[in-house]
Amino acid sequence: MAGSTRLGPRSNIIAAHAVAPLPHHWPWRASDATVYSAVIFDFDGVIADSEVRANRTLAESLTAIGLPTTYEECLRDYCGHNWQETERRIVVRLGRPLPHDFRERHRERAQKRFAEGFAPVPGAPEFLESLGCLPRAIASSSSPAYIAASLDRFGLARHFGHHVYSADGWARGKPHPDIYLAAANGLGIDPAACLAIEDSPTGARAALAAGMTVIGFCGGGHILDRAAHGDVLRGVGVHHVAHGYDEVLLHA
């Protein structure tokens, strides 16, 4: 997600609840053989179908300060980065410091747009149900408060307990591996035994640098040409590409 709601301190505050029964229609079950010990998810574009709103909002905010920017340019240049890196890139392009009220005005614009409502990525709730007791975590460049509120909105907070990691709490965000290494460490699992699901080249590079198997995910609403985006992710080095959760395989 391109910086629209990633403003806030690092926190792991999502409450844990019991996992609901497995849906009978899902193609993979926790009892199936799997080569992975954990699944680590990016959030925006992988669990929350939020990237369209986020990047349209950022484009509006940048245009408003005299840096005309399109939605497509935001997806290309900022998607997957934490807010600090997003701001750094904006300043380079703008050629001067950001207005003192830019962050607050952008926050207000983002809150208004996200208040209109958004949904999980299609298939994400069912896939999470299918994992059974397999450990899982979120490794995201968004703020913990935004992630917590979104998971509560979707009824998915129970799937992650306190294993929600935000790059805002680390010295280096994606594409550095720190956030993925922190998630694996928090789960107590070797990164090499983890499967990461990422939609952005920036995030995919982070998970690959952590030594994980990476699925390049093309199921979010912001990806209009899934075949082309899959090719971009393959170029980064992902191990597999999935155009939706029905193509995410956890077993041999």
Per-residue pLDDT tens for 138-150?
999 888 888 999 9
Decide if 206 contacts 182 (C-beta within 8 A): no
C-alpha to C-alpha distance for 166 and 77, rounded to whole angstroms = 20
Which of the residues 32, 42, 49, 101 is marked catalytic? Answer: 42
DSSP 193-209: GEEEEESSHHHHHHHHH
C-alpha to C-alpha distance for 239 and 208, rounded to whole angstroms = 9
Whether the predicted pLDDT of 161 surpasses 70: yes
- Name the pLDDT band for 250 (thresholds 50, 70, 90): confident
Is 190 known to be catalytic?
no
pLDDT tens column, 169-190: 677 889 999 999 999 999 999 9
Q: Which of 2-6, 96-100, 158-162 comes out lowest in average pLDDT?
A: 2-6
The chain-wide mean pLDDT, for the chain, equals: 84
C-alpha to C-alpha distance for 95 and 112, rounded to whole angstroms = 28
Q: Residues 239-252: what's their mean pLDDT?
A: 88
pLDDT at 35: 85
Whether the predicted pLDDT of 27 surpasses 80: no
Please tell me the pTM assigned to this model. Answer: 0.77
- Name the pLDDT band for 251 (thresholds 50, 70, 90): low
pLDDT at 95: 94
pLDDT at 9: 28
pLDDT tens column, 199-229: 999 999 999 999 999 999 999 888 878 898 9
Partners of residue 162 on adjacent β-strands:
none
Which of the residues 32, 44, 199, 225 is marked catalytic? Answer: 44
Is 44 known to be catalytic?
yes
Decide if 2 contacts 140 (C-beta within 8 A): no
3-class secondary-structure state, position 37:
coil
